[in-house]
Amino acid sequence: MLKYIDTPTIEIFDAVLEKAEIKLFVKREDQNHPFVSGNKWWKLKYNLQEAKKLGHETLLTFGGAFSNHIFATGAAARELGFKSIAIIRGEEILPLNETLAFAESCGMKLHYVTREEYRSKTNPEFIDQLKKRFGDFYLIPEGGTNELAIKGCVEFAHQKLSGIDFDFLCLPVGTGGTMAGIVAGLEGQKTVIGFSVLKNGDFLKEETKRLARDFSGKEFPDWHIETDYHFGGYAKRTNELDQFILRMSQQHKLPLDFVYTGKMVAGVFDLISKNYFPKGSKIVMLHTGGLRL
Ligand SMILES: *Cc1c(COP(=O)(O)O)cnc(C)c1O
């Protein structure tokens, strides 16, 4: 088992919140592990157990050069004694960026493929070729989203959110895996709002619904995905976003990144300023980690 550190839920005090009569909190799940942080811890938990149970020695996964998932998988492999291989989209760029340098320092083997090849990442023939080349492995898909990842996020909702009093849970959405798990875990008892970090995030509504339904056999009410807070698209940033992240860091000692959590928190503050939330609402923002960019 990966080590786990229990995380606090911190209240944020701000004039904007007082005016709107909103109570705002952040669940600092980014502090749950020094390297396998935030949602990645929960997405990997049951995949790592399954790999051990099946007797695998090696984990193989996919990602881009800035992927928090690659970073976390490398660290988890090192902690639990797996070998690890990452299939990286695009050409090798030296010196390695922080994400890949860290993954390599964990013993992760980095294998670069063209963008065209990378598109075959779920094709069984391509996976077979990888097995011929690298030997047997436990496959974790791109971004780490699969049924066992959702199982972990359901467990997070049951174990770590059930003790908190709130009306809305807000989180950033990449593949929809974490959102699906939290929606299935909260079972419509609370409203869940996801913030797409992708430019054309509309497909995430269907994708999240499908993931939650495939996992639990049910459809859940009281959740949706905001698609207007991508700030230009995946890993894109604007001055406005950078200013906001700086303000959160200085005024509230809240560290955010511009790929995921910065966009979500900016979206929550914008909705609050537009009086989206009823007066008296309690909102929890989930800090999903990923501060190594
Ligand atoms: C990976 C990641 C996400 C996206 O999670 P999905 O399950 O792919 O939607 C959100 N926030 C952070 C910090 C991440 O690293």
What pLDDT, on a 0 to 100 scale, did the predictor assign at position 29?
A: 98
Q: 87 CA to middle of ligand 1, Å? A: 19
What pLDDT, on a 0 to 100 scale, did the predictor assign at position 200?
A: 94
Q: Phi and psi at residue 203, in whole multiples of 5°?
A: -60, -20
CB of 152 sitting under 6 A from ligand 1: no
Best residue among 288, 291, 292, 293 to mutate for probing ligand 1, ranked by most atoms within 8 Å of CB:
288
Best residue among 62, 260, 261, 287 to mutate for probing ligand 1, ranked by most atoms within 8 Å of CB:
260
What pLDDT, on a 0 to 100 scale, did the predictor assign at position 249?
A: 97
Residue 291 CA: which ligand 1 atom is closest? 13
Q: 15 CA to middle of ligand 1, Å? A: 29
CB of 288 sitting under 6 A from ligand 1: yes
What pLDDT, on a 0 to 100 scale, did the predictor assign at position 292?
A: 67
CB of 74 sitting under 6 A from ligand 1: no
Read off the pLDDT of each residue in 251-273 and give the average, rounded to a whole number. 98
CATH no., domain 39-144:
3.40.50.1100
Distance in angstroms (rounded) separating the CA atoms of residues 185 and 14: 30
- Percent of the chain past pLDDT 70, that is, above it, reads 99
- Is the pLDDT at 293 greater than 70? The verdict is no
Start and end residues for every CATH 3.40.50.1100 domain found in the chain: 9-35+146-286, 39-144
pTM greater than the 0.95 cutoff: yes
CB of 38 sitting under 6 A from ligand 1: yes
Residue pLDDT, tens place only, 129-184? 999 999 999 999 999 999 999 999 999 999 999 999 999 999 999 999 999 999 99
Residue pLDDT, tens place only, 92-117? 999 999 999 999 999 999 999 999 99
CB of 174 sitting under 6 A from ligand 1: yes
Residue 260 CA: which ligand 1 atom is closest? 11
For 9-35+146-286, which CATH class? alpha beta
